[in-house]
Amino acid sequence: MYTDPREPRRVPGSNDRHAATFVARGGDPFYPRGEKAVALLFVRTDCPISNRCAPEIQRLYQVYLPQGVNFHLVYPEYGLTAAAMDRHREEYGYTVPALLDIDHQYLGAV
Q: 59: Cβ–Cβ under 8 A, 6 or more apart, which residues?
A: none
The chain-wide mean pLDDT, for the chain, equals: 76
Instruction: Name the percent of the chain lying above pLDDT 70.
Output: 68
User: Which SS3 state, helix, strand or coil, does residue 86 take?
Assistant: helix
Domain 16-109 homologous superfamily, CATH: Glutaredoxin (3.40.30.10)
Question: For residue 39, what pLDDT is reported?
Answer: 87
The single-letter code of the amino acid at 3 is T
Q: What is the pLDDT along the chain (110 residues), one digit of tens a residue?
A: 333 444 444 444 433 333 333 445 455 666 556 667 888 899 999 999 999 999 999 999 999 989 888 888 999 998 899 999 999 999 999 999 898 888 888 777 77
